[in-house]
Amino acid sequence: MRERRRLPRPAKLSVEGESDEFVRPMRRSWTCLARRLRAPPLTALRFLTPPSRRRQRCTPGAAMADVSERTLQLSVLVAFASGVLLGWQANRLRRRYLDWRKKRLQDKLAATQKKLDLA
């Protein structure tokens, strides 16, 4: 990271025998530095994206009133069954992979032992 140089702050803005033209650039650079060092405004800490302006299609209470008890039970049952089926298939696939890896490692070990015996 680049190191920042600190400028010495002048005790007086003008010195005897010097004109204001010399003092003004120094004053301008100090105001720029002060702006950079200031804390960010509180609005910068909020989310960058504004809240959605879309109108909600229905209220949560009205949405649940439209669904019957039987339909709800059926959808929960279908979701549970699909989760069980997916988990079962994923476990079968994982077991097949582990068996394949075990067989491959055993074959490699056997080949290595054979090389060691011949050497």
- pLDDT tens digit sequence for 52-100: 666 666 555 555 667 788 999 999 999 999 999 999 999 999 999 999 9
What is the band of 119 on the pLDDT scale with cuts at 50, 70, 90?
confident
- 84 Cα distance to chain centroid: 31
| Residues ≥6 apart with Cβ < 8 Å to 29 | 7
Q: What CA–CA distance (Å, rounded) separates 33 from 27?
A: 10
Position 58 scores a pLDDT of 58
pLDDT of residue 106: 98
| pLDDT for 67 | 79
Q: How far is residue 110's CA from residue 119's CA, in Å, rounded to a whole number?
A: 14
- The mean-pLDDT minimum among 40-44, 62-66, 71-75, 110-114 falls in 40-44
pTM above 0.75, yes or no: no
